[in-house]
Chain A
């Protein structure tokens, strides 16, 4: 187990900047997630930590050791690849023991470790099989097992669940978390799936275009996104964005859209003082829109607006209702029993306590 520290890490491929000024301290035993769309530099960062890419500038420490010039084999890391990368000519046992055999661990010990790990992962019966005789989920477990037997300082995961079907992915997600709770090894996990990031990480690192956008616990990133990009990326369905103008009236501040205006909660007006009369972006998460009929809590009567229902996606546990308002589509996450039909006009309410306002120019969060 070890801490991992990245200091001013930069990586360019020719003229393309893949990672820019990446600074991150990962604590011992932490499960950290790098998340972002494809091409955001998350995998490059992970590969740099593994030593599979040489960084253009900056320093990478594993424990106290500067590893910039240390080849992957000496970094004491284990990596799980997206397509598992199992050695096709070796059976499960040999796949799992390969790293230990290279390290000249005595045979009886290898045997003990491999069997114990295989049992832990529920693949004890498969040790004699070749990778091609295994299902996707089983291969995934073997790849995990191969990493675990090594008892490395750091686990690196490169989208390990993305090749699995949806149901299995959820099971494996829980199993990975359980494993981490037992092994307590530092883990760095790359994914493009924000749901995986939310559910698995102690902290998540949201990346875009080679830059870190925000590093924080999943809930903090969700509740307090640092900018419009993070706000839109984390959360599914994603946050609704509307252009608005900040206006003053009756001693209150309002975010005014074309046909309606939302009163800004008193405790947040302070930060908006410089924006009065200026354009901004209003952000509303789908669960913060409700209908007048179903809302149970106290609401601001001024936040009621009329809109027509466009499409309804019933998910069983909830209903995603796409509504048309001011030529824009907003998504609302509603009670599954709400009685709405496409084309219908209805009254919706915004829970103004939870709205966000972003600077129009910098797209930074004002609150």
Chain B
């Protein structure tokens, strides 16, 4: 009996250990390495080649956060991008899910249409939407501007992602990027919400109807509260994507005019691999990691607690 159990234990350890080892080295090991790097002065290729580690404390972080004009503006951009993107995905996702949940003919087709953009790589989305939002010049409009001008709606023509307009720290050029990202991922919130809606027992809805609730009141009184945990997980998944966003912005706009659509990931890429300031790049990466942890860790803790309860 005991032998059998030890055997089973050995097998399970054997099966799990390669993954644990790989994650240990390539995720946590490298995170550790990046943290160490961010405290060093390896900000030129020559210094890196020498390989001598010189500890400079928080100097890289202080420079980024307090002396560099670009990084704080990146953080603002990330903040606005995240808020608008989450708002867009959640609202659109819920609306689409509610429409599809009515079970009308052909809703399965639309369900797939809305979900499909998720299957596309961010790079592809970025490229496609770059063409759509390319403003052209005033005599030769392109993309959606061309459509507007053909329709006689010249008033709607706009510079899109090359616009330098801003309201306070909010750069309007972010809007087309938010639209592209929302287009790609609102299908995900739709799928989550649809699954959630289908999981609500019909008798609950009927009970509310008999209790005197209108369609709107059924939604706010019963459906929405029951969807809340699902919406929260969707927001966490989307939120961490949004904080780390790189490929979409990179392929669509780059940093934009006056860094209007610059985000930390772009800055990190440029700092590390184009300007070869490895330590500074590592510091940006660590700040991003901390931002994402603020979202992910509470979520992981709460979901582990929920699992434990079960």
Contacts and interface: CB of A to CB of B under 8 A. Distances in A.
Interface of A: 50-52, 71-75, 77-79, 81-83, 85-89, 98-99, 102-103, 146, 150, 156
B51 interface: no
B225 A83 contact: no
Contacts of A82: 203
Contacts of A146: 207, 211
Contacts of A52: 206, 209-210
Interface stretch (B74-82, B123-131, B213-221): B213-221
A68 B77 CA distance: 56
A211 B154 CA distance: 67
16 contacts: A50-B210, A52-B210, A73-B214, A81-B206, A83-B201, A85-B201, A87-B207, A87-B222, A89-B228, A98-B208, A98-B213, A102-B211, A102-B212, A102-B217, A103-B212, A146-B207
A98 B209 CA distance: 11
Contact of B212 (A50, A73, A85, A89): A73
A335 to B, nearest CB: 46
Given A81-B203, A85-B203, A98 B210 contact: no
Main secondary structure of the interface of B (DSSP, over half): helix
A150 B207 CA distance: 13
Interface in B42-69: none
B204 interface: yes
B226 A78 contact: no
Contacts of A81: 203, 206-207
A238 to B, nearest CB: 31
Contacts of A72: 206, 209-210
A150 B206 CA distance: 16
B230 to A, nearest CB: 13
Contacts of B209: 51-52, 71-73
A75 B206 CA distance: 13
Contacts of B207: 79, 81, 85-87, 146
Contact of B210 (A73, A88, A89): A73
Interface of B: 201, 203-204, 206-214, 217, 221-222, 225-226, 228
Contacts of B221: 87, 98, 102
Nearest to B228: A89
B227 to A, nearest CB: 10
A150 B208 CA distance: 12
A85 B204 contact: yes
A87 B210 contact: no
Nearest to B204: A85
A155 to B, nearest CB: 11
A332 B118 CA distance: 70
B226 A88 contact: yes
Contacts of A85: 201, 203-204, 206-207
A83 to B, nearest CB: 6
A79 B226 contact: no
A98 B211 CA distance: 7
A130 B55 CA distance: 56
Given A78-B210, A83-B203, A85-B206, 18 more contacts: A52-B206, A72-B210, A73-B209, A73-B213, A74-B212, A81-B203, A85-B203, A85-B207, A87-B221, A87-B222, A87-B225, A88-B204, A98-B211, A98-B213, A99-B211, A99-B212, A102-B211, A103-B212
Contacts of A73: 209-214
B220 to A, nearest CB: 11
Closest 5 CB pairs of A and B: A99-B211, A85-B207, A85-B203, A72-B209, A89-B225
Contacts of B210: 50-52, 72-73, 75, 77-79, 156
B211 A89 contact: no
A85 B201 CA distance: 8
B52 to A, nearest CB: 60
A87 B204 contact: yes
A306 B162 CA distance: 103
Contacts of B208: 87, 98
Contacts of A51: 209-210
A105 B222 CA distance: 19
A87 B200 CA distance: 10
